[in-house]
Every structure is written in C-alpha cells, then in structure tokens.
Structure 1
C-alpha cells in the first residue's frame, strides 16, 4: 500500500460522515453580523430573540445552513 493510497482512504473516510458536531442536536444555521464578520451558532443562543453582535451591538441576522454538509458556513 502506497502512501498516496493511504492518504486517499483517510480523506474519503473523513468526508463520509456529515455529522460534524458529534452531538444529538443539529444546527439549523447561524447568526451573522456582516459588518463585523462575527458568527454565532444557533445552538449557542438562548431564547428566540436574535443575539446582538459583541463588536458593534447591532442585532445579528439568522442564515440557514445548506444542510448537505452539516455546516452553517
């Protein structure tokens, strides 16, 4: 087995699982402040009100995850 084959197998195995968090609750998206480029995962926000940006104090905007990768990027 060559090193190239080993690397390919490792990369293929690591990309098969879309559950990146390992937890039981999945993220629906994240809150963003586009002016400051700050992001807060929806699972880290308590309550139903959008959080305020820690940099500028403005209300953050919710954006949904694409869903296919498990990432709210």
Structure 2
C-alpha cells in the first residue's frame, strides 16, 4: 500500500459519520446545583420545569452554555 492510498483511506474514514442526516437536538445549556456541583444537560430533562438535584433535592438553576448568546457563565 502506498503512502497516497493510506492518506486517502484516512481522509475517507474521517469524513464518514454514522449519524449523518439524523436529527440531533442541540443543548442550550445545563441545570446546575451549585451546592452539590451536580450538572444535568437541558436536553436530558423532560418538561419545562427545572429538575430537582439528584443529590440534595433542591431545585436546580439553568445556565446557558458559553457558546450561546448572553452566557450566564
């Protein structure tokens, strides 16, 4: 196998995505419990209400991700 064939195979493999075309919901932030340092991504929470912390049962606070406008970080 030549060097060119090897490079070609690497480039082809790096552009193949098994999830191409699948609908992916993008996270807009996460819910945090600052006392317990627990974090839950917003896409992992069902419903519109803030979840309770799994460690202390207090309501968690939503904070936007650094990549979104108006970051609360």
Note whether the superposition's TM-score is higher than 0.5: yes
Task: Provide the C-alpha distance between the structure 1 equivalents of 2:23 and 2:31, rounded to a whole number of angstroms.
Answer: 20
Structure 1 match to 2:11: none
Post-superposition, which runs of at least 4 consecutive aligned residues in structure 1 deviate over 6 A?
none
Aligned residues: 49
5+ residue gaps in structure 1?
1-21
5+ residue gaps in structure 2?
1-21
Structure 1 match to 2:24: 24
Identify which of structures 1 and 2 has the higher relative contact order when contacts are C-alpha pairs closer than 8 Å and 6+ apart: 1
TM-score by length of 1: 0.60
TM-score by length of 2: 0.60
Q: Which one has the largest radius of gyration?
A: 2
